[in-house]
Amino acid sequence: MQNDNRKTIFTTISIDKETANLVAKICKRYSLKKGEIVKLAFQYLEKAHINPADAPESVKTELSKISKRQDDIIRFIRHYEEQQLNPMIRTSHSIAVKFDTVARDLSEKVGSEITNSKNTLVNVLKKLDEQFGKVVTVINNQAKQINDLSQVHQKDNKKLLKLISLYSELSACGVMDGKRKENLKAEIMKLINETQ
């Protein structure tokens, strides 16, 4: 039979009544047409490389094969674990322990060096502070002395200016100003005696 729309050639096959009932049952279960079921069944056999002439083994035999395969895989995993993974884990653990030890030792050394450096720096700063304190005291004393000397100099300068002024007045006095000369000489003597 040929369908012109799809250009697909359909053929027929003969099957016994029991097989026809099985095909109808599968069609009903999966909502497929008989032609689709046959097509899909043959595609499955082809992809799975199943020979339909080989009698299927019992479920018990298949399960024992699967169980044996699982046991083989578990043995392989355990063997690999014992031979490869456990030594790697022990080595990694050993390296991690050594690394932790080295890191802790370095941390302690760095900490002690920092503490020592800090203590040394504090001591140096204390000594500098003491020295600067002494220098500040000396400078303050010198400043006080300079201030005192400055006041003495200012006082002396005022007296000197007064003396110069008195001498200048004395020299300006004429012969007739005897009393005035005597007063000026007395003031000059008084200023000279105060400075000594």
| Farthest-apart Cα atoms in the chain, separation | 180
- Whether residue 156 is contained in a domain is answered as yes
- Whether residue 112 is contained in a domain is answered as no
Distance CA 147, CA 137 (A): 15
pLDDT > 70 in the chain, percent = 91
Residue bearing the bigger pLDDT, 121 or 167: 121
* pLDDT of 51: 80
* pLDDT of 175: 57
- Whether residue 99 is contained in a domain is answered as no
Q: Tally the domains of the chain.
A: 2
- Whether residue 77 is contained in a domain is answered as no
- Whether residue 123 is contained in a domain is answered as no
- Whether residue 85 is contained in a domain is answered as no
Domain closes at, from 17, 36, 56: 56
What is this structure's pTM?
Answer: 0.35
Asked if residue 26 lies in contact with residue 37, where contact means CB atoms within 8 angstroms, the answer is yes
Asked if residue 34 lies in contact with residue 27, where contact means CB atoms within 8 angstroms, the answer is yes
Asked if residue 181 lies in contact with residue 166, where contact means CB atoms within 8 angstroms, the answer is no
User: CA gyration radius for the chain?
Assistant: 63
Asked if residue 34 lies in contact with residue 24, where contact means CB atoms within 8 angstroms, the answer is yes
Range of the domain at 50: 1-56
